[in-house]
A and B are shown apart, each in its own frame.
Chain A
Amino acid sequence: MSEPSQSNGQSAQGEYREQHHIVSPAIYAVILFVLLCATALTCGMSYIDLGEWQIAPGVTLFWNPVVAIAIACTKMSLVVLFFMHIKYSRRLTKLTVVSGLFVFLTLIGMTLTDYMSRAWGRW
């Protein structure tokens, strides 16, 4: 009958190893520790006024939300890469995640261009 189809052009062995890579519990434990530390950090940072950056007259960037989102993005990346195994996944899966983020950022970004250009100087 038909043989296992390999229409993606990769070698059978390489695929198998890649898909079924088993991440060790030690890595999971390290990631857990980092995530908990990051949580403590972000909680602590919210009690400190980090000030602002006057990019231009009327355009200010406040550091607190930037830092909070940066920490949240780092935590997300760790969960996605290690707990969700993206680091060990095939290229297609990685591309899928990136494209999802891209569309999400398009929604946020392009909508913001409208709001920000209607409110020059007030944001």
Chain B
Amino acid sequence: MSDSSAVANGAVAEEPHDHPSYQRHHFETVDQQFDATNFAMWIFLLTEVMFFGGLFMAYLIMRNWYYRAFVEGSHQLSIFWGTANTTVLIISSFTMAMAVWSAQTRRQRALLTFLGLTFVLGVAFLGIKGIEWHEKWVKHHVPGIHEYSEQAFLNPASDPEVYKEYHDQPLSPAMASKTEEYFFLYFAMTGMHALHMVIGIGLLVYIFFRARSGAYTNGHYTYVENFGLYWHFVDIIWIFLYPLLYLISRY
């Protein structure tokens, strides 16, 4: 039985580089690379679905157990800012899809414009989040760490702005304490979502600068496409968070 040292010691002949520079050597063709990395991103998004899935499960149980607390807790959220944020994110999904289109059709200026718009909208989203969270902080509705106050739920009339809109009934002390659970889930879910937005925006900046040097308008638009998938996914999470957190019952 021979060993293949003869082949090995002869050293592997250097293949002529008949493939684009952006093709990695462990792939046989550019299409295989595109296919594989696209598939990989989808699988990663599956892991993200299961990751947020745990939060949705917790939310489901707690909302069913403490419905009134969740209703009155959700009245404390601004429907204006919430809807604004949803709109911002949906438009940013559109601009991101347009960015992918620009990369596919090799329009560098359009690509930069749409990436820039997506960035601005993403930052706007975080800015609005910041406004909302600040509101919660000031009203002492941040659970556990900033003297959580149940006053607005024990005695809704003490919060005239919200009372004017919804005329909530006062909650029993037991149910009022459960509003803290609502806000715990609110901050956990929007916080986890915001973390993913921050990571997305960071990557977006990187992609923007790479796009400026022409990296994605030479036929190799994989990164933009795959990042687009991530961005759309984060949008989808918010599409569910919006009705679950803001729209529980506003009648």
Contacts and interface: CB of A to CB of B under 8 A. Distances in A.
- Same complex for A and B? Answer yes
Interface of A: 1-2, 4-5, 12, 15-16, 19-20, 22-25, 28-29, 31-32, 35-36, 39, 42-43, 45-49, 64-65, 68-69, 71-72, 75-76, 79-80, 82-85, 92-93, 96-97, 99-101, 103-104, 107-108, 111-112, 115, 123
B232 interface: yes
A71 to B, nearest CB: 7
- Among B225, B228, B239, B244, the most chain A Cβ lie within 10 Å of the Cβ of B239
Contacts, number: 134
B243 A72 contact: yes
A72 B240 contact: yes
A115 B61 contact: yes
Interface string B49-93: 110011011001100100000000000000100010011001101
B39 A23 contact: no
B151 interface: no
- Tell me what chain A mostly uses at the interface: helix, strand, loop, or mixed: helix
Contacts of A29: 94
A45 B15 CA distance: 64
Interface stretch (B98-106, B175-183, B184-192, B203-211): B98-106
7 contacts: A4-B28, A20-B104, A28-B97, A29-B94, A39-B86, A83-B96, A100-B50
